[in-house]
Amino acid sequence: MGKTIFGPPAGPPSVHPSTEIYGAMGEARIFAMLADFYDELGRSSIRPLFSDDLLAASKRSAAFFVGLLGGPPLYQQLYGHPMLRARHMPFKIDRSARDVWLACFEKTLEGAEERYHFPPEHLEGFRQFLREFSLWMINTP
């Protein structure tokens, strides 16, 4: 028999961040935010889940977030359809790994209004998306 794929009970995210975020931040600040996030991941217990080149990984992720937050579809233009669950399947992502990932993003978002010009009125909606999105990436009970 084939491998059973674990599906988290929450399903895909039901909320999405505002597309107005891109207009306030711009591409360069989104890339800077994701570079800082990957610096946090690099110091975390889940560092082994990521490629050796964290800067390149942060740029791929930033390309996804640019489109998600209202900018051009950079990720699709550079890499094709995101297929996020499928792309994350080779990595063991359990609840603990998800919690570390989310904590790294939360740390990155501290002071995001000043550091990245993140619009404060959209910060909680973005956090809610990250909470739901990260639950959806769990693939190991």
Q: Closest Cα partner for 67 from 51, 49, 85, 79?
A: 79
Please give the pLDDT value at position 87. 84
Give me the pLDDT at residue 135, please.
92
**Mean pLDDT over the full length of the chain:** 93
Mind listing the pLDDT tens digit for each residue in 112-138? 999 999 999 999 999 999 999 999 999
pLDDT, tens digit, 9 for 90 and up, residues 42-84: 999 999 999 999 999 999 999 999 999 999 999 999 999 888 8
Intra-chain end-to-end CA distance of the chain, in Å: 19
Domains contained in the chain, CATH given? 20-136 (1.10.490.10)
Predicted confidence at residue 22, as pLDDT, reads 98
